[in-house]
């Protein structure tokens, strides 16, 4: 079953459970238990059931919301570093090209692009490798000036 089919199945399950709860809640009790433990258990159970349905619905929305699909593996974040309170540099891999992007509040700009290093010379979690790439970019920019 594909992702859309599973989402539809889960939504129908939740809708069926909610309609069953609403039908059961609409029926008046035969003998209203006033002040009994049974009445308190019934109220707590109904509350837990409603809270569980709300939690399940929120999880379904987050899991199967449209627009949350990935780029199909075309984009990969290699690394990033904060350079200010609202600015950061991010290395993105697109096919066989690495893009160094400057991300600030309000816009994203291309700082540098280079071919992907052979054999993943820079590990995504190695800050020293990122510093080396940054020094190479600065050196290349200094040579252009």
pLDDT digits (tens, 9 = 90+) for 45-88: 999 999 999 999 888 888 877 654 555 567 888 888 888 888 89
CB 116 within 8 A of CB 97: yes
DSSP bridge pairs for 112: 100
Give the rounded distance of the alpha carbon of 118 from its chain centre.
Answer: 30
In angstroms, rounded to a whole number, what is the distance separating the alpha carbons of residues 13 and 43?
23
C-alpha distances in Å from residue 93, one per residue of 88, 90, 117, 119 = 16, 10, 11, 14
Tokens 């009994």, residue located: 36
Model confidence at 16, in pLDDT bands (50, 70, 90)?
Answer: confident
Specify the pLDDT at position 48.
93
In angstroms, rounded to a whole number, what is the distance separating the alpha carbons of residues 136 and 145?
15
In angstroms, rounded to a whole number, what is the distance separating the alpha carbons of residues 12 and 2?
15
């Amino acid at each position: 079953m594909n992702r859309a089919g599973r989402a539809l199945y889960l939504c129908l399950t939740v809708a069926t459970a909610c309609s069953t709860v609403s039908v059961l809640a609409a029926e008046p009790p035969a003998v209203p238990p006033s002040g009994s433990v049974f009445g308190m258990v019934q109220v707590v159970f109904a509350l837990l059931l409603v809270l569980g349905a709300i939690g399940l619905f929120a999880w379904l929305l987050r899991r199967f919301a449209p627009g949350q699909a990935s780029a199909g593996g075309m984009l990969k974040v290699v690394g990033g570093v904060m350079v200010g309170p609202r600015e950061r540099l991010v290395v993105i891999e697109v096919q066989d090209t690495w893009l160094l992007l400057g991300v600030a509040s309000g816009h994203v700009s291309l700082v540098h692009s280079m071919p992907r290093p052979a054999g993943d010379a820079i590990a995504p979690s190695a800050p020293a490798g990122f510093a080396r790439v940054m020094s190479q970019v600065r050196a290349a920019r200094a040579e252009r000036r």
